[in-house]
């Protein structure tokens, strides 16, 4: 799997632990449906402590942190901002109490895509809202397999996939991302252009519709 290449017209990179990816899902699925296309959804497993510092909360209190005051203001804003968009979409978005290891659930994206790409939406609908309500332990194999099944995909063989081919596929893909110019989620790859953030969806739509008329400026879908 090459980071910038796909048989689909658009690659979408997401990570479940990103609130920005969460609020990007619905407008991106709406675009996919409106254009009658099937996008290639892929995992980008963020290494948040490497660029934003790490932190852990317990019962709402910070019990460990190496973040700067500016980083904290940025993080607080990110949750406040994404929460109001999530609410507009009818979702609950609670700040996470730790930085989750999402490698397993990211590999599950590859599994579901391989089994039946049309079930990706069902898989995300099973995983994302529950995770952001703090009701899903995405580091537990049984939980992830249950989500795969709920999405209508056979989870038999996922254990082996995770330990073998799938884990390797995931790690190889992650290693390609920075050298390809991809660093965050959601990232859209369309006709060779790398577009970070759901605010670029108007531009993505403009490309997918054949670049007719004036290109639009950025704008978060409401």
Among positions 140-199, residues that touch other proteins (CB under 8 A) are: 178, 181-184, 194-197, 199
Q: Kindly tell me which residue out of 56, 76, 114, 133 binds other proteins, with binding defined by CB under 8 A.
A: 76
DSSP per residue, 50-77: HHH--EEEETTEEEEE---HHHHHHHHH
Among residues 72, 69, 70, 43, the alpha carbon closest in space to that of 57 is found at 72
Q: Which stretch binds other proteins (CB under 8 A): 17-25, 33-41, 126-134, 208-216?
A: 208-216
Smallest distance, other proteins to C-beta of residue 74, A? 5
Smallest distance, other proteins to C-beta of residue 51, A? 4
Q: Which stretch binds other proteins (CB under 8 A): 8-16, 26-34, 110-118, 210-218?
A: 210-218
Work out the number of other CB atoms within 10 angstroms of the CB of residue 144: 24
d(CA 197, CA 21): 8
Is 212 a binder of other proteins (CB under 8 A)? no
Smallest distance, other proteins to C-beta of residue 47, A? 6
Q: Give residue for tokens 């968009």.
A: 85
DSSP per residue, 142-183: HHHHHHHHHTT---TTHHHHHHTHHHHHHHHHHHHHHHHT--
Q: Kindly tell me which residue out of 7, 36, 47, 90 binds other proteins, with binding defined by CB under 8 A.
A: 47
Q: What is the dihedral of CA 194, 16, 88, 78, to 10 degrees?
A: -70
User: Which residues of the shown chain bind other proteins in the complex (CB under 8 A)?
Assistant: 47, 50-51, 69-70, 73-74, 76-77, 80-81, 84-85, 178, 181-184, 194-197, 199-200, 203, 214-220, 222
């Amino acid at each position: 799997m090459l980071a910038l290449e796909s048989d689909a017209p658009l690659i979408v990179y997401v990570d479940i632990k990103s609130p920005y990816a969460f609020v990007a899902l619905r407008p991106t699925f709406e675009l996919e449906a409106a254009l009658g296309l099937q996008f290639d959804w892929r995992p980008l497993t963020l290494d948040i402590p490497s660029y934003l510092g790490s932190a852990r909360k317990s019962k709402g209190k910070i019990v460990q942190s190496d973040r700067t005051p500016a980083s904290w203001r940025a993080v607080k804003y990110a949750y406040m901002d994404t929460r109001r968009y999530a609410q507009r979409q009818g979702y609950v978005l609670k700040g996470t109490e730790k930085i989750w290891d999402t490698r397993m659930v990211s590999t599950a994206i590859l599994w579901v895509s391989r089994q039946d790409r049309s079930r990706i939406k069902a898989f995300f609908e099973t995983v994302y809202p529950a995770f952001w309500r703090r009701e899903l332990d995405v580091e537990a194999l049984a939980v992830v397999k249950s989500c795969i099944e709920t999405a209508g995909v056979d989870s038999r063989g996922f254990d082996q996939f995770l330990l073998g081919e799938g884990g390797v596929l995931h790690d190889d893909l992650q290693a390609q991302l920075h050298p390809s110019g991809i660093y965050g989620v959601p990232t859209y790859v369309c006709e060779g252009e790398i577009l970070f953030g759901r605010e670029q969806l108007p531009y993505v739509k403009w490309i997918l519709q054949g670049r007719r008329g004036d290109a639009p400026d950025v704008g978060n879908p409401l």
